[in-house]
Amino acid sequence: MVPKQTAEIFQILSKGNFISSNGSQARLYDCISHEENFKVLKEYFAHIGYHLESGHNYYYFSQQDETNTNMEKKLEQFAHFIDVMDFFSCLDVKPVTGTRYRVTQIAEECFANERLRQKIYAISRKDKLTDKVIDVAGALANGGFLEQEDEDTYKVMDAIHYLETIISLITIEDDGEQKNS
């Protein structure tokens, strides 16, 4: 028997989003984690071609077969995520699960730090510094790695581990080209 929140879960996960244990959908996370629900839901979603996967305190859908175009698109998006993660990792406060970032605070840090400024200029085309920060934070929020708590605050989700894991799998070869191992 699938839980009553199945539709809600599907609605979130099918958009490529994550359900993290520390986000506003913590109840859904608990629902999936509850007793046999994960198994039941995994089987249930498998029937319609979605593979429910569990990470470190988060759930997501994976696809076994993907078209090359899709894959390319995802890789492109991922490349952007890497740049954004690189930016966040250079901040005074590192993107650890649960960290709360304030847009104004990041903008101030960028204003004071030339390196950060260069990085954010490279990853966002917005005019104002705060808009740039919103842009990059929004990008991670759209991916489900951050969650906007209020107008000025973003919180790092457990799903950030997904990004970290994937990034850690990247090997850089001698010729400087990146390749997914």
Partner 1 sequence: MESRRILNRIIFINIANTDYSSAEIAGNTCFVGTNNMGKTTLQRAILFFYSANTRGLGISGSQKSFEDYYFQYPNSYIIYEILTEEGMFHVMIYRHNKLLFRFVESPFNKDLYIVNNEAVLPKEVLTRFNENKLYYSDQIETFERYRNIIYGADPDKRYKKFALLKGNSNYHNIPLAITSIFLSSEASIKAEFVKECIANSISTKHTNIELKTVERQLRQFTEKYQDIETFFRKENAQRGELIKDNFSQIKNLKTKQRALAAELGGAIKYATEQKDLLGLQVANFRQKAEALTKDFKWKENAFQEKKGEINQEIGAIKSRLKEADKKQKEYQGKGIEDLLKKADEKAQLLASLQARETEYSTLTAGFKDVEQQFKTLFDGLENEKKEFLNMIASQGLSLERKFQEVKSKLAEEFRKNENSLREKHASATDQYKGRLHKKELDKQKAEFSEKEIKKKKYYEREIALIKENLDEIGKRRLDREAQSKIKNREIESLRKEAEHIKEKNKITAEQFTSKNKEEIALIDEKIKAIEEKLSVHQNAFFGFLQEHYPEWHKTIGKVCNEELLFNKDLNPKLIQKELDTLYGIQLDLANVKIHSKSLEEYEQEKSSLLEEKSVLNQNFLDFRETQAREEQSKLASIGKKSAQFKNELSQLDYDAEQDEQKEKQFTLDLNDWERKAESQREQDLTDVYTLQEELKKELAEINASMKGLAESLKDELKQLKDKEADQISEAKKDYDEEAAILEESKDQKLEELNERREQLQKDKSKSLKNKGIDDSKIKSLENEIKSIKQGLDEIEKNAELVNDYKKDKRELFDKVESFNKEKEILDEKIKQCEKDFSAEKQSYDKDKIQLEKESSKFLEELKKYTDGLEYFEKHFKEKALFERLRHLIEPATAMPSDLGITALCSQLFSNDGEYHGQFEKFRNKITEFTGRFRPENHLNFRINPNANEFEYERFAEYLQEFYNENKIQTSIAEVAKNHGMLIDAIATKVKALTDHKGRINRMISKMEADFGRASFESSKLIEYIKLKSEDSENKVLKKLQKIAEFREQNPFLYGESNLFNQENKAKSEIDKKSVELLNDLQKTISEENYDEIKVQDLFELRFRIKEGKNDTGWIEKIDRVGSTGTDMLVKAVIYITLLNVFIKESTEKTAQNFKVHCIIDEVGQISAPYLKELISFAEERNIYLINGLPNESKLETHYNYTYKFRKDQHGNVKVVPLLTMSIEP
Strand (E) positions, 63-169?
100-102, 146-148, 153-156
Using the rule CB under 8 A, which residue among 2, 8, 16, 26 binds partner 1?
26
Half-sphere exposure of 71 (CA within 13 A, CB side): 7
Phi, psi values for residue 7, rounded to 5°: -60, -45
Closer Cβ to partner 1, 91 or 126, answer by number: 91
Residues 125-164 vs partner 1: string with x where CB under 8 A? ------------------------xx--x-xx--------
Near partner 1 in 78-107, by CB under 8 A: 92-93, 96-101, 105
- The minimum distance between CB 58 and partner 1, in angstroms, equals 11
Element (H, E) at 59: strand 58-62
Task: Locate 163 and state its tokens.
Answer: 């990004």
Cross-strand bridge partners of residue 134: none
Binding range to partner 1, per CB under 8 A, among 2-10, 19-27, 68-76, 129-137 = 19-27
DSSP label at 18?
-
Q: Which is nearer to partner 1, 34 or 115 (CB)?
A: 34
**What number of other Cβ atoms are within 10 A of residue 166's Cβ?**
14
Question: Judged by CB, which is closer to partner 1: 42, or 100?
Answer: 100
Residues in the chain: 181
Which residues of this chain interact with partner 1, rule CB under 8 A?
A: 21-22, 26, 30, 57, 92-93, 96-101, 105, 149-150, 153, 155-156
